A and B are shown apart, each in its own frame.
Chain A
Amino acid sequence: MTVMGHLAAGALGIETLGMTMRFGGFTALDRVSIRVAPGSFHALLGENGAGKSTLVKCMMGFYHATEGQMLVDGREARVPDPRAAHALGLGMVYQHFTLVPSLTAAENLVISRKDAPRIIDWRSENAALEAFMAQMPFAVPLDQPVRALSAGEKQKLEILKQLYLGRRFLILDEPTSVLTPDEADEVLGHVKALCREGRITVLMITHKFREVTAYADEVTVLRRGRLAGTGRVAELSHADMARMMMGDAELAQPAPRAGEAGPAVLSVEGVRARDRSGLKEIVIDALEVRAGEIVGIAGISGNGQMELMEILTGQRPAEAGTIRVKQTPYHARREEARVKCVRYLPEEPLHNACAAKMSVTENIAFRTFDMNGSGTRFWLSGREMKARAADLVAAFRVKTASLDAPMASLSGGNVQRAVLARELTGDVDLLVISNPCFGLDFTAVAEIRARIMAARNGGAAVLLMSEDLDEIMELSDRVLVMSEGRIAYARAVAEADLAEIGHHMGGHA
């Protein structure tokens, strides 16, 4: 069978020589030469817009490099399109899944094959799949529909699919961004083992230093389309890598904590609601956030954090219980949020807090367009909207080509900056945040965390839901863990124990 034949051939080494990609006058990639040795696990680091994606798209044949060559196993290779890359044994795993949710894992594997027959003989295919899986260091249930698999299993299946298709050089584009830390460790551990066995070579795009140190053999750093540095991971510290990535730019330091916690601003009592599936219940017996403190809610995604956010923003009706802000009942109506100075930063801001096709000016006006001083207005003021947007874009250093550009044309970090500009201006007494730094590069992360801390120091009560435990531990005064729709654990951050938090996150309390 062809699949086995490819596997026997083992890991591929790839080299780029002076790879350059110009789009008109803009050079996205400037003479980048990297060498990925066969069987190695190579990390590709860089900020958003550093040229990582451009480089791998050139390698995969999505782009045609303006200049430069690629060597596959020491021989010059021409890759006019992704199909040619696949034929050479190159494959890519994307940040988001490319599986068909309603089909089983086995069906997904078989239909992904270029030579999948018109009429599939499942008996022989299943036998072949079993033989294939027996050679793999990890397995996923083949007979389940993909939608029933966890995120970690889906990502493992994506990697298995590449191996099944006979790929010997895998490009992983932020493969762990949708995984929990445990799932990420498991998936990357397996990938590392495959490299060590010499079956595949891996080039992984990532933002996470921890993953680089734990799994990669070598690292290449890009900055503004140029090669900023490369080396063996064992010989580099996080500080070295940060310096390569950032150049001389300074990272915003998280503001030091200041001030004591004041009276309770948000109190949630006995709230019950259905979860998204409608099958499970969200139960929040008591949750209190006081002025001048950050309460962090840790937990694996899908344990009710999203529903809690929806209850607090009024998107999901509570069947029982009360939510109070500053001692009076709160229903998340626009007037209430305005009077009580409640602000929200939902996760994935472009998806949940912006209208992608509306302009930056309009998006920045979402919270204030109907305010005229302290009253409300009927007629829109385009001039005031524009002036306000210009001020806020400057104050929060939002990089945009124009105030009239659609929100969707901004990078992820700048979308989040624009939303922060909108929500953190004026008096803030309660700030409810969900995964504020997801998918952002670390200049943006540092800046956004500093702004959250500044809001806390300014006396705001902050409720921070995050899947990033490091973020929770860095920012919170108190840490809670949410598991199966309930708050399973609560401690002041100084007394919190990571192992214990991990147990509660996993639901083994």
Chain B
Amino acid sequence: MAMTTPPITGARDILSPDGWLAALARRSEAVVIPFCALLAGLAAFSLFLLMQGKSPADFYSIVYMGGFGSSFSWQNTLSRTAPLLLAALCVALPARLGLVVIGGEGAIVLGGVACGAVAGLLIGVPGVLGIPLMAAAGALAGAVWIGAVGALRHYRGVNETIASLLLAYIAIALMNHLVEGPLRDPASLNKPSTAPLAEQLRVGDLPGWNVHWGLIAGIVACIAAWVLIERTTWGFAARIAGGNVRAAQVQGLPVGRLIIGFTALGGAFAGLAGVFEVAAVHGSANASLAGGYGYTGILIAFLARHNPLAIIPVAILLAGFEASSGLIQRRMDLPDATVLVLQGFVFVAILCSETLYGRFRLFAPERWRTA
């Protein structure tokens, strides 16, 4: 119907579908809808709190204090942001090809184990050489793990969501086997771990901050991923394949290579998250690697609409929620799993909001004049 509309107004028309307002409207859909879904999730969670006789106002003010209220809480939040950024990329990159990969946790765990194992071989190697080697080993482990999900999908038609989830369980079992068996440091009694990293292999903090370098690595990775997707021909080819795989095939694009490449790259980022957890936080690889960052990463990627730049603020927000969980436990007498419940509410709201895209004329300038 839009096509038969006669031009009503002149070229300098503010409602023109080519104008700046139209461009703004098109872009704002991916911001407004997730934001409203986030608010809806928080509102629903408030009801959950009220049912338990707790005050939502208290809860959110404690979240603010615990996550963002002081320089101490900011540092706590930002330390947790690093792995979340990288874990979210493991969801967002395959998602641009239309794949829902939810097993980033497996890549994080194996990346950490690979880092711990390689560190054991690097006795006496200086950090400038050792840290890149550990990072490469962790990224490679993650790339192989999630790349395998892509390969299974492309060559055998295995559903990538199920495959990645189940492979995450296998990865965690594999880690437990390795740190309790072949890689175990005999000195680790209560908590089986690999040997502690040598001092020069530890990743330190940013100057003047109590936040490790993983934050910078994560932000750089997000920017690089955005450039890859939005500014390179590989990213454009991936977006075509994600938009319509038949169209990509008819254009002769190497869909299989794109799928395996993007899943492997996402896995490499998640593996890197494991490396920082070992080299900057825990000091050795152990069961603490399976801390749920991979799963929070799923929520972040969906909230960010799989836009790597949007992942940065969303990851900081969610890291703040997690950082405040200790304070919530102490101040409100709620279990620390409460933050997981909150994440669950937000995730359900986000998934429900997926059906809202394309429904609002406000965000579709080409329909402004027709109805």
Contact residues of A with B, CB < 8 Å?
23-26, 28, 49, 54, 224-225, 313-315, 332-337, 344, 346, 351-358, 362, 365-367, 369-370, 376-380, 399-406, 409-411, 414
Whether the Cβ atoms of A366 and B364 lie closer than 8 Å is: no
Whether the Cβ atoms of A334 and B254 lie closer than 8 Å is: yes
Whether the Cβ atoms of B244 and A355 lie closer than 8 Å is: yes
- The smallest beta-carbon distance between B168 and chain A, in angstroms, is 30
Find chain B residues with CB under 8 A from A24 CB: 369-371
Whether the Cβ atoms of A314 and B237 lie closer than 8 Å is: no
Whether the Cβ atoms of B233 and A26 lie closer than 8 Å is: no
| Interface residue from B18, B231, B236, B253 paired with A402 (Cβ < 8 Å) | B18
Whether the Cβ atoms of B233 and A380 lie closer than 8 Å is: yes
- CA of A298 to CA of B254 in the docked complex: distance in angstroms? 31
- The smallest beta-carbon distance between B235 and chain A, in angstroms, is 7
| B3 contacts the other chain (CB 8 A) | yes
Q: A402-B17, A404-B26 are in contact. Are A26 and B370 (CB under 8 A)?
A: yes
Whether the Cβ atoms of A409 and B4 lie closer than 8 Å is: no
Cβ-closest 5 pairs across A and B: A355-B243, A334-B252, A401-B366, A23-B371, A402-B17
Whether the Cβ atoms of B17 and A401 lie closer than 8 Å is: yes
Contact residues of B with A, CB < 8 Å?
1-5, 8, 16-18, 22-23, 26, 230-237, 239-240, 242-244, 246-247, 249-254, 364-367, 369-371
Whether the Cβ atoms of B239 and A352 lie closer than 8 Å is: no
Q: A24-B371, A314-B252, A403-B18 are in contact. Are A354 and B247 (CB under 8 A)?
A: yes
Whether the Cβ atoms of B4 and A344 lie closer than 8 Å is: no
Find chain A residues with CB under 8 A from B239 CB: 355, 358, 362
A sample of 8 inter-chain contacts (CB < 8 A) reads: A26-B370, A26-B371, A335-B252, A351-B244, A370-B237, A380-B231, A401-B2, A405-B365
Find chain B residues with CB under 8 A from A376 CB: 233
Find chain B residues with CB under 8 A from A362 CB: 236, 239
- The smallest beta-carbon distance between A413 and chain B, in angstroms, is 9
- The smallest beta-carbon distance between B230 and chain A, in angstroms, is 8
Whether the Cβ atoms of B3 and A411 lie closer than 8 Å is: yes
- The smallest beta-carbon distance between A181 and chain B, in angstroms, is 27
Whether the Cβ atoms of A379 and B232 lie closer than 8 Å is: yes
Q: A23-B1, A355-B239, A401-B17 are in contact. List 15 more A-B contacts (CB 8 A).
A: A49-B1, A335-B252, A354-B244, A355-B242, A355-B247, A362-B236, A362-B239, A365-B236, A366-B247, A369-B237, A370-B236, A402-B17, A404-B23, A404-B26, A409-B2
Whether the Cβ atoms of A353 and B247 lie closer than 8 Å is: yes
| Interface residue from B233, B247, B250, B254 paired with A379 (Cβ < 8 Å) | B233
- CA of A404 to CA of B20 in the docked complex: distance in angstroms? 11
- The smallest beta-carbon distance between B291 and chain A, in angstroms, is 35
Whether the Cβ atoms of A353 and B250 lie closer than 8 Å is: yes
Whether the Cβ atoms of B366 and A334 lie closer than 8 Å is: no
- The smallest beta-carbon distance between B128 and chain A, in angstroms, is 30
- The smallest beta-carbon distance between B21 and chain A, in angstroms, is 12
- The smallest beta-carbon distance between A411 and chain B, in angstroms, is 5
- CA of A380 to CA of B1 in the docked complex: distance in angstroms? 33
| Interface residue from A333, A346, A357, A404 paired with B250 (Cβ < 8 Å) | A346
Find chain A residues with CB under 8 A from B364 CB: 405-406, 409
- CA of A376 to CA of B233 in the docked complex: distance in angstroms? 9
Whether the Cβ atoms of A380 and B243 lie closer than 8 Å is: no
Find chain A residues with CB under 8 A from B243 CB: 355-358
Find chain B residues with CB under 8 A from A356 CB: 243-244
- The smallest beta-carbon distance between B198 and chain A, in angstroms, is 39
Whether the Cβ atoms of B236 and A380 lie closer than 8 Å is: yes
